[in-house]
Structure 1
Amino acid sequence: MVRAVVLSEQGKPLEVTDIVLPEPGPGRVKVRVVAAGVCHSDLSLSNGTLRQPVPAVLGHEGAGVVLSVGEGVTSLVPGDHVLLNWAPPCRECWYCEAGEPYLCERAADAAQIPHATLPDGTPLYPTLGAGAFAEETIVPERGAVKIPQDFPLDQAAVIGCAVLTGAGAVFNTADVQPGQTVVVVGIGGVGLSVLQAARIAGAERIIAVDTVESKAELALSLGATDFLVSDESTAKTVRSMTSGRGADVAFECAGHPAAIRTAWASSRRGGHLVIVGIGSAKSKVEFSALELYHFGRTITGCLYGSIDPDVDVPRLLDLVRSGQLDVSGLVTATTDLDGVEAAFTDMREGRGARTLVRLGA
């Protein structure tokens, strides 16, 4: 048995308890989790904003070491170091063959299949197919991306969601160009990754926007040229900072209607609004027919940074090794499995960026 953070029912407190993991079946691998980041999506899965079969093991942003592999697994062997990919592409469906593996129609399959049990035999589901808040987990072969043995696993864990999502939004979805102006609304782990990637891409002015002023120092240290505390005049202020036009590209990283409207209004006519944050299905954003026509802006949804793990993981690892991308800077707190609930509280109250759960060396 291994310890894990179990969600018995959405909206209820979490429980750290023992679970039973079988040996991996065909096409699956067992991973000893070394580190896992606490993502806002974990909170959304916990409180019911996102659907999830229960009881479930929370956590999806993780990295660790392969313990064993099931029949038919050819790309991994015990001892390999891996980061978890919570949306593994099948490489066979229409979207994968069309070059959009982040939209793979089978990417969510693993989340619907129990991977473990409670000691009494109750089936447990892995949230987002990963179940990373546990000492060990079982994932599909493509849900574990091999990385070099000398790359720090605590850094790899954060890359697995926050950095791939945020940097992917810049490099893939928006294709930010040198000299462009960028505004980023919502400065958590993903937003901070957007800031860094925009700097790497050569953006001239990078304006960070958040409701919490204490995030200013971190945002400015990781790529922002300016920081604004969000209020009713934010869009007007952004326009005044960008020759009266607004930003070329606006990234919304909070998943809230008000944040989406702020990002929209902060972008220029003909600009690009990228929706990175995950909102509730019940939350509505309104646009008039006239403004959609008049401003000529492009609105793009961004799922998992529009990534291809085979391309983007090696690219990001190289950026970290070269010192251009500071992954450690995203982590503002560390804890163990018992501290996940407190990390959720920090997230709700806007404190810090990423909390990292450390489970071993």
Structure 2
Amino acid sequence: MRIRAAVLHSSPIAKPYAETRPLRIETIELDPPGRDEVLVKIAAAGLCHSDLSVINGDRLRQNPMVLGHEASAVVVETGPGVTDLAPGDHVVMSFLPTCGTCPSCMEGRAQLCGPGQAANGAGLLISGERRLHCDDGTDAYHHCGVSAFAEYAVISRRSIVKIDPEVPLVDAALFGCAVMTGVGTVVNTCQVKPGQSVAVIGLGGVGLSSVLGAIAAGADQVVAIDLSQAKLDLARELGATDTFLASDPDIVDKVKEATKGGVDHAIEMAGSAPAFELAYKITRRGGTTATAGLANPNARISLPPVHLVGEERTIKGSYMGSCVPPRDIPRYIALYKRGRLPVHKLLSGTGPLEEINAALDKLDRGEVVRHVITF
């Protein structure tokens, strides 16, 4: 079938994106679903820094590629072997397909699925296939097995979670990345307990989701840190107890004073080495410093290892919020429905596919938390 899609043909691309237009809106060919695959009509797709990092060259990928990995959709058609979904079902996509049989999947760490990571790295569906084709005869690559910046997508059943149809699809899209990663880092990776203190550095969609997750987990003190005062104000509205500008030269001392020596859990979501080093410095003795921010692969951090021993520090990485998507996305949606995860407050705006390049500029400048493309 013929579909409209935003196609990236080369990277890195210079800014401003509204002028250079790295994502071209084209009509391309989409194959029908193969075995264990599903054809979906995309309803909403969020713009994330993981998309931006492919465009700006921080994380180079194969081209041409249809980007977009955080999305909600409605099932149109199921391929052979798919028996638990039907046309009309509402779904959220996970940006990592899981095979279910590799050692990581078998031990309940689906976020580390080897075949899924390999497929994503190669720009393929987990079946090894590509279902997207440009008019010049070249096959287009899939982004994270989703490629949601398009009217329709063919996706592995292993990348799909069925959701309650009462959930607005614009809100639902955020659960595929921002909420899953942000909340998951709090409850799965850090295992925050009621009464503990949490700091979040970097208040994009993922970071603010961590703020919401910390509040839902019962954290007694939630510290929000960012370069943007507007985002700090939003964090306060969401329930953060303390906010600090990351540019404050005395920020470490101020956070330690406000938290009586540092936080139990410091979570870095900015995707930068300085932000991680700040997170480490404000972590208390015996505390945990975690990161789910995807920094440039060439970035390096410098930490005094003696603290790891003398203060029994813990450093953790968190990919996909250490989530098992079919288990965790329904849990987080249940919290949303009860008002405990008001993720709709993270929406900065919506717009059509044709405005995606201008929206990328806003994301790059830090002017939005989550802008969502709607179809």
Shift of 1:290: 2.6
Shift of 1:164: 0.4
Q: Which of 249, 252, 256 in structure 2 is aligned with 1:239? A: 256
Shift of 1:48: 2.1
- Please list, as runs of the form range in 1=range in 2, the aligned pairs for 1:162-177 lying within 5 A after superposition: 162-177=178-193
1:75/1:141 contact within 8 Å kept: no
Counterpart residue type for residue 305 of structure 1:
G
Shift of 1:102: 1.0
Q: Which of 13, 20, 24 in structure 2 is aligned with 1:15? A: 24
Counterpart residue type for residue 351 of structure 1:
E
Shift of 1:297: 1.2
Render the CA deviation track for 1:278-315: whole Å, top value 9, x for unaligned: 11110111113333333321000000000011211111
1:181 corresponds to which residue? 197
2:215/2:239 contact within 8 Å kept: yes
- Using the TM superposition, name which of 267-276 and 65-74 deviates more: 65-74
Residue 145 in 1 paired to residue 154 in 2? no
- Using the TM superposition, name which of 13-22 and 32-41 deviates more: 13-22
Residue 6 in 1 paired to residue 7 in 2? yes
2:19 corresponds to which residue? none
Shift of 1:343: 2.0
Residue 68 in 1 paired to residue 77 in 2? yes
Counterpart residue type for residue 10 of structure 1:
S
- What SS does the aligned partner of 1:86 have? coil
Counterpart residue type for residue 240 of structure 1:
E
1:343 corresponds to which residue? 359
Residue 24 in 1 paired to residue 33 in 2? yes
1:276 corresponds to which residue? 292
- Using the TM superposition, name which of 330-339 and 112-121 deviates more: 112-121
Shift of 1:119: 1.9
Render the CA deviation track for 1:91-139: whole Å, top value 9, x for unaligned: 1000011111111112231533422111222101111110001000111
After superposition, the CA RMSD in angstroms is 1.2
1:235/1:263 contact within 8 Å kept: no
Q: Distance in 2 between matches of 1:268 and 1:289?
A: 15
Render the CA deviation track for 1:162-184: whole Å, top value 9, x for unaligned: 00000001111111111111110
1:52 corresponds to which residue? 61
Q: Distance in 2 between matches of 1:125 and 1:117?
A: 9
Counterpart residue type for residue 4 of structure 2:
R
Residue 91 in 1 paired to residue 100 in 2? yes
2:307/2:313 contact within 8 Å kept: no
Residue 253 in 1 paired to residue 253 in 2? no
- What SS does the aligned partner of 1:73 have? coil
Counterpart residue type for residue 66 of structure 1:
V
Residue 155 in 1 paired to residue 171 in 2? yes
Q: Distance in 1 between matches of 2:306 and 2:329?
A: 41
Q: Distance in 1 between matches of 2:278 and 2:351?
A: 34
Q: Which of 297, 320, 325 in structure 1 is aligned with 2:313? A: 297
Q: Distance in 1 between matches of 2:87 and 2:137?
A: 27
Residue 224 in 1 paired to residue 233 in 2? no
Residue 267 in 1 paired to residue 268 in 2? no
User: Where do 5+ consecutive residues of structure 2 fail to align?
Assistant: 14-21
- What SS does the aligned partner of 2:277 have? helix
Render the CA deviation track for 1:6-35: whole Å, top value 9, x for unaligned: 100121322111111011111111110000
TM superposition score normalised by structure 2: 0.93
- What SS does the aligned partner of 2:219 have? coil
Q: Distance in 1 between matches of 2:307 and 2:367?
A: 35
- What SS does the aligned partner of 2:30 have? coil
2:323 corresponds to which residue? 307
- What SS does the aligned partner of 1:128 have? coil
The count of residues paired between Structure 1 and Structure 2 equals 358
Shift of 1:229: 0.5
2:116 corresponds to which residue? 107
Q: Distance in 1 between matches of 2:360 and 2:253?
A: 33
Counterpart residue type for residue 26 of structure 1:
R
Q: Distance in 2 between matches of 1:33 and 1:76?
A: 16
Shift of 1:75: 2.1
Shift of 1:149: 1.9
- Using the TM superposition, name which of 183-192 and 82-91 deviates more: 82-91
Shift of 1:219: 0.8
1:186/1:252 contact within 8 Å kept: yes
Identity %: 39
- What SS does the aligned partner of 1:129 have? coil
Shift of 1:73: 1.4
Residue 127 in 1 paired to residue 136 in 2? no
User: Where do 5+ consecutive residues of structure 1 fail to align?
Assistant: none
